[in-house]
Chain A
Amino acid sequence: MTKRYETVFILTPVLSADQVKETVVKFKKSLKDGGAKLMHEEDWGLKKLAYPIQKKSTGFYHLFEYEAEGDLIANMEINLKRDEKVMRFLTVSLDKHAIAFVESRKNRTKKD
């Protein structure tokens, strides 16, 4: 039974722009291979962290919002944990209120 999930992960700032893009594409591909449907993607770019992680004070933030089977999440997180370019990640399952919120946010960005 597929559920909606949202993953936010932070990449180390020492990467060049194309390394960032390449890792993002790598995770997007691993999602697609796992049979997930990527609904929404956000790139917040370089942001200042509230506290230093691994001695770094900034990081590239990326957000994936997708619909997937439950078991895909486990090996997705293994990939994220194994990749040393990813400093931190958080996967959240979306309940109906969250989905309504994301939908309203999505067509709001379409409108303006």
Chain B
Amino acid sequence: MAENTSEIRYLTPPNIELAREKYCRFQKNRIKYIDYKDEKFLLQFVNEQGKLLPRRITGTSLKYQRKVAQAVKRARHLALMPYVADMLK
């Protein structure tokens, strides 16, 4: 009875990973224009299925998230990026 109090098993292991400070990469290195033509750069904002990543994951500010979304949609129109994909990365 006494011994199991020491090793308390949590239902969900506490994630030790501290919340690393998210920053908007466009503001940090002062990128003003997101080019819809270089798809290698835009691939970082899209998940494996080719869907746009939300801001809470990428940490970009609202103003640049809209520019990224517009650039990705233009790239998709020009078939530089797929609308749906599997194992894109």
A51–B83 touching, CB < 8 Å: yes
- What's the interface size class on A, roughly? 10 to 19
Instruction: Let me know if B10 is at the binding interface, CB within 8 A.
Output: no
Chain B residues with Cβ under 8 A from A50's Cβ? 39, 76, 79-82, 85
Stretch binding the partner chain, chosen from B1-9, B13-21, B30-38, B52-60: B30-38
Main secondary structure on B side of the interface with A: loop
Question: With A8-B37, A98-B33 as given contacts, are A51 and B74 in contact (CB-CB < 8 Å)?
Answer: no
Chain B positions near chain A (C-beta within 8 angstroms) = 32-33, 35-37, 39, 74, 76-83, 85
Q: Could you list which residues of chain A lie within 8 angstroms of chain B, going by C-beta atoms? A: 8, 10, 49-51, 53, 59, 61, 63, 88, 90, 92, 97-98, 100-101
- List 8 A–B pairs whose Cβ atoms lie within 8 Å, in order of A's numbering: A50-B39, A50-B85, A51-B79, A51-B82, A90-B77, A92-B36, A97-B32, A101-B33
